[in-house]
Chains A and B, each alone.
Chain A
Amino acid sequence: DQQVKQNSPSLSVQEGRISILNCDYTNSMFDYFLWYKKYPAEGPTFLISISSIKDKNEDGRFTVFLNKSAKHLSLHIVPSQPGDSAVYFCAATNSGTYKYIFGTGTRLKVLA
């Protein structure tokens, strides 16, 4: 049972445009969500997070939106840069537990 789903395995975006990466979850108990970025041959690095008490969190070019009723979150990158090309994982957890459930990742390619 895939509790966290990233249905788009890949995405290509022109440099300077907006990148939108999507993530859906099924477990209504999840209350904290994270995005990680992973370059080839490196471990995932934390990017941005959001608590379920918010619907938006912004950090520079990165904004995460949470729609609890739809059990959907998205990561917006504006403007996209070639250095943003990586695999992006969303993760979810219930803050009463320690388990983080990851999606399968979306490979973003930003074209110069």
Chain B
Amino acid sequence: GAGVSQSPSNKVTEKGKDVELRCDPISGHTALYWYRQRLGQGLEFLIYFQGNSAPDKSGLPSDRFSAERTGESVSTLTIQRTQQEDSAVYLCASSSSPGITGNTIYFGEGSWLTVV
């Protein structure tokens, strides 16, 4: 597609339920990132995928969070047993040339998660 596509755009879930957020990166982009922005805070790195390499999961806040990516296509971020502090906008981004000077990452519009 022309841009990074995320779904759902909005999700309200009850505390304790599991949620899945989906990201479809820009076609041809090998690198995919997940970030989170909680209310009033900055962009928090969660996880990074590059091709078939092992993902960098260093930003995942707890073992309730996991993410998968099939090849260089769609990624799914899963939050198990959601808590109210998980309420945030989850942003996916992709790029074509990670690690190369001048590389830019492009964001989707985000998935707004509210845990009630």
Binding site for B on A (CB under 8 A): 6, 31-32, 34, 36, 41-46, 49, 51, 89, 91, 95-105
> Which B residues lie within 8 Å of A43 (CB)?
4, 6, 91, 107-110
A34 to chain B, nearest CB (A): 7
Complex partner residue of A98 from B43, B50, B101, B102, CB under 8 angstroms: B50
Cβ of B65 under 8 Å from chain A: no
> Which B residues lie within 8 Å of A91 (CB)?
43
Closest residue on chain B to residue A102 by CB atoms = B43
A65 to chain B, nearest CB (A): 18
Q: Which of B79-116 contact A (CB under 8 A)?
A: 91, 95, 98-110, 112
What's the A-B contact tally at a CB cutoff of 8 Å?
62
Cβ of B21 under 8 Å from chain A: no
Query: When the two chains form their complex, are residues B91 and A44 in contact, meaning their CB atoms are under 8 A apart?
Result: yes
- A-B complex: 8 closest residue pairs judged by Cβ atoms: A104-B42, A98-B98, A43-B107, A102-B43, A95-B101, A43-B109, A44-B107, A43-B110
Closest residue on chain A to residue B110 by CB atoms = A43
> Which B residues lie within 8 Å of A99 (CB)?
45, 48, 56
Give complex CA distance A34, B43 in Å. Answer: 14
Query: When the two chains form their complex, are residues A103 and B104 in contact, meaning their CB atoms are under 8 A apart?
Result: no
> Which A residues lie within 8 Å of B50 (CB)?
98
> Which A residues lie within 8 Å of B31 (CB)?
98
Query: When the two chains form their complex, are residues B48 and A32 in contact, meaning their CB atoms are under 8 A apart?
Result: no
Give complex CA distance A32, B99 in Å. Answer: 10
> Which A residues lie within 8 Å of B56 (CB)?
98-99
Query: When the two chains form their complex, are residues A103 and B42 in contact, meaning their CB atoms are under 8 A apart?
Result: yes
27 pairs across A/B with beta carbons < 8 Å?
A6-B42, A32-B101, A32-B102, A34-B104, A36-B107, A41-B109, A41-B112, A42-B109, A43-B107, A43-B108, A43-B109, A45-B107, A46-B106, A51-B101, A89-B43, A91-B43, A95-B102, A98-B50, A98-B56, A98-B98, A100-B45, A100-B105, A102-B42, A102-B43, A103-B42, A104-B42, A105-B42
Q: Which of B39-61 contact A (CB under 8 A)?
A: 41-43, 45, 48, 50, 56
